[in-house]
Amino acid sequence: MGNNKKQLGTEATSGPCRGRSGLSEKSQSALQNYKSKRAGTYIEDLVYRPAKKTANSPGAGQLASKVLLLFLLLPMLGFFGWHAYQNLPGDPLELTYEVDLSDAHQGTLLITLMAEGKLPPELNLEFPSGIMGKSNTNLRLLRQSAHGINDNGQMGKPLAVDMTAQGWTLDTRGMDRIGFIYQVDLAQPRSSEADVRKHISTSINGGVRFAGFEVFLEPANAPVGDITVTVYNPSNMPILVPWPALVRNDLAQPETPSGPVATAHLGFGQGYKPGSNLNPQSNNSESAENPRVQAAPVPRNLFYHPHDLADLNNALVVCGDLRNINSQAGDCVIQYATDRDWLFQNGDAVDLIRRIARTEMGFFGSHPTEQITVLLSANSVNTKDDFDIYGVHTGSSILIMLDEETTWGLLENEAASVIAHEMFHGWLGEAITQVDPSTLWFTEGATTWYSARMLTAAGIWTSDHARQVLAERLNRDYVQNPWRENTSIADAAADVMGDPQKVRFSYAGGVAASMALDQWLARQCNMARPLDEILRYLYKNTDEEGFSRESLEAAVLAVTGVDCHLWLEEHVYGTLDLPPLDRLI
């Protein structure tokens, strides 16, 4: 700003005085300066005076032509101005999604999206970006139709619908409330899609399972405000919405002829079949003492209010032949649910899940949400180069897909690490919100390392077993991985939906980088486990804008006093080899 002022003060003018150089006895006034720049033309010179006729003066014909041109331009300017006004973004739209489960047992959903507010002339409805920006291309949407909605809530005139590469465009000119109806076919077999990550939304025993980002279309060219999701469940089938579970059961609400008003909290066992047929063991004794786990009547209509579109897309809804056992870890409810029988006792599975939850809550000092649901489901995809066990977290709830023939030994020694990993994401990934793909190396790598440490601390794995698992994974997926030669760990991790070999490299590389960073910081600041304190610091000081490289570096500096920018630049965002690791656990 100081330099700008200096330049303005010494700027040469067209008058006799040049700035403040002292070449004139007195400087020009501001008025004189302005007039000189305008070549002597100032407002006083623009006052109307009778024009002198000259050879070049415009005649009456020229003046009439200009007036005519002006009259022709005004309607055009008005039209374009009105068109621009019509396309200005208005107040955020209110969205209501009605999910009809009438044919869920056949693998289909009927969804009605109602949008209300200042609609643009054309409303673009598209699938949101799914896992780190990858749009959905797997599900079949059928029988699309759109209508205006009258003041009485009835269906009005049909609207023109055009299919686009990203979704559909609706002609909504003059509309302030519309409905778009479409059917989602989840029963269509996708055996050719040999990637378990593409099978999150699918048919299950007696119903369906679907992720929000795969079934909910959203406006792409209009702001969105309040969002409501209603689930119509005419057959009262068991239903689970582990996340988001944003409304609680209110006993003061009146009942309707079809059952309780839709204010049911979608956690705490709401909507489950009793778990007595799941072989509960003595480990589940806490459930009987906790009145919250007693299942209330299943309302015919459930609803929840996502905070925003990201929350809507993060939802996981499951209905069908569901059964559950509930337990407790401190004041957090631990739910176990499945749609099938396994080769192990479900009571043992509940105990394993609860031990993991208690250990991770002890590490951070609290739980990120009031409930953690673990849903075990069958993995229908088993190929040589793909993932035999796959987990996904939605909030603090977890979907684990594994082989139907999984034994207790495999659950404890292999699947437990996936459960611990996804549960840890309730803190690192959800509470410490992952939004930037450039930090996925840390979110996934540190979570993988800490899941092994949590299993050791919980007594589920021995230290030797944890070291063996980590050593084998690092050697196979990092040291010997061909991606290591030409790709940085951060770049590989950012491509979360890349080929399985690249994903394994990114996870293992993130583990190695997290361990190496911890050991490097320990030498710099003389702390035993600096990364432990850094994670706790990030959890207690969550950033509303989400977890980023800058926030990680700031947390490292705040906890240890060490600037790690260059270290990260070389070893994580660059391809310089990591220093040797002194320890694994």
Q: Copy the structure tokens of residue 63.
A: 């003046």
Query: In the prediction, which pLDDT does 243 show?
Result: 61
Q: Find tokens 């990260």 and name the residue.
A: 568
Could you report the per-residue pLDDT of 233-291, keeping only the tens digit for each?
888 888 887 665 433 333 334 444 444 333 333 433 333 333 333 333 333 333 333 33
Query: In the prediction, which pLDDT does 388 show?
Result: 75
Q: Which of 438, 428, 392, 372 is nearest to 542 (CA)?
A: 428
Query: In the prediction, which pLDDT does 45 show?
Result: 33
Distance, in Å, from the CA atom of 205 to the CA atom of 92, rounded to the nearest integer, reads 39
The angle at the Cα of 370, spanning 367 to 375, to the nearest 5 degrees, equals 95
Q: Which of 195, 193, 163 is nearest to 180 (CA)?
A: 163
Angle between helices 463-474 and 440-457 (to 10 degrees): 150
Strand partners, 378: 402
Of the two residues 350 and 252, the one the predictor is more confident about is 350
Query: In the prediction, which pLDDT does 341 show?
Result: 92
Strand partners, 303: 230
Distance, in Å, from the CA atom of 477 to the CA atom of 504, rounded to the nearest integer, reads 6
Looking at the predicted structure, is the pLDDT value of residue 297 above 70?
Answer: no
Looking at the predicted structure, is the pLDDT value of residue 136 above 80?
Answer: no
Could you report the per-residue pLDDT of 492-506, keeping only the tens digit for each?
999 876 788 898 999
Q: Find tokens 């072989």 and name the residue.
A: 279
Is there a contact between 415 and 401 (Cβ–Cβ < 8 Å)? Answer: no
Q: Which of 287, 288, 273 is nearest to 321 (CA)?
A: 273
Of the two residues 519 and 229, the one the predictor is more confident about is 519
Q: Find tokens 């192990």 and name the residue.
A: 344
Q: Which of 316, 538, 272, 311 is nearest to 422 (CA)?
A: 316
Query: In the prediction, which pLDDT does 316 show?
Result: 84
Could you report the per-residue pLDDT of 89-122, keeping only the tens digit for each?
568 999 999 999 999 999 999 999 999 999 999 9
Query: In the prediction, which pLDDT does 191 show?
Result: 54
The single-letter DSSP state of residue 309 is: H
Q: How confident is the model at residue 71 (pLDDT cuts 50, 70, 90)?
A: low
Q: Find tokens 């369906």 and name the residue.
A: 208
Q: How confident is the model at residue 67 (pLDDT cuts 50, 70, 90)?
A: low
The angle at the Cα of 397, spanning 381 to 286, to the nearest 5 degrees, equals 115
Q: Which of 229, 246, 239, 208 is nearest to 371 (CA)?
A: 246
Query: In the prediction, which pLDDT does 389 show?
Result: 85
Percent of all residues in the chain with a pLDDT value above 90, rounded to a whole number: 45
Is there a contact between 228 and 97 (Cβ–Cβ < 8 Å)? Answer: yes
Question: What's the whole-number mean pLDDT along residues 123-136?
Answer: 66
Angle between helices 530-540 and 549-560 (to 10 degrees): 120
The angle at the Cα of 491, spanning 431 to 416, to the nearest 5 degrees, equals 50
Looking at the predicted structure, is the pLDDT value of residue 50 above 80?
Answer: no
DSSP reduced 3-state for 570: helix
Half-sphere exposure of 6 (CA within 13 A, CB side): 3
Query: In the prediction, which pLDDT does 197 show?
Result: 66
Beta carbons within 10 angstroms of residue 232's beta carbon: 16
Query: In the prediction, which pLDDT does 200 show?
Result: 84
Query: In the prediction, which pLDDT does 560 show?
Result: 98
Q: Copy the structure tokens of residue 33.
A: 């300066």
Is there a contact between 435 and 546 (Cβ–Cβ < 8 Å)? Answer: yes
Q: Which of 227-236, 267-276, 543-552 has the lowest mean pLDDT?
A: 267-276
The angle at the Cα of 450, spanning 576 to 489, to the nearest 5 degrees, equals 25
Of the two residues 487 and 196, the one the predictor is more confident about is 487
Distance, in Å, from the CA atom of 296 to the CA atom of 288, rounded to the nearest integer, reads 15
Beta carbons within 10 angstroms of residue 139's beta carbon: 18
Question: What's the whole-number mean pLDDT along residues 344-363?
Answer: 95
- Looking at mean pLDDT, say which of 39-53, 180-194, 253-267 comes out highest: 180-194
Q: Copy the structure tokens of residue 214.
A: 């795969």
Per DSSP, the residues of 191-212 read TT---GGGGSSEEETTEEEEEH
Provide the greatest CA pair distance for the chain. 110
Q: How confident is the model at residue 305 (pLDDT cuts 50, 70, 90)?
A: confident
Exposure string for 105-133, b = 16+ CB within 10 A, e = fewer: bebbbbbbbbbbbebbeebbbbbbebeee
Question: What's the whole-number mean pLDDT along residues 392-413?
Answer: 88
Looking at the predicted structure, is the pLDDT value of residue 53 above 60?
Answer: no
Question: What's the whole-number mean pLDDT along residues 157-168?
Answer: 88
The per-residue pLDDT of the chain, averaged, comes to 77
Looking at the predicted structure, is the pLDDT value of residue 43 above 50?
Answer: no
Q: How confident is the model at residue 83 (pLDDT cuts 50, 70, 90)?
A: low
| pTM for the full predicted model | 0.74
Q: Is the previous residue joined to 244 through a cis bond, with omega within 30 degrees of 0?
A: yes
Looking at the predicted structure, is the pLDDT value of residue 414 above 90?
Answer: yes
Query: In the prediction, which pLDDT does 384 show?
Result: 54
Q: Which of 109, 202, 96 is nearest to 153 (CA)?
A: 96
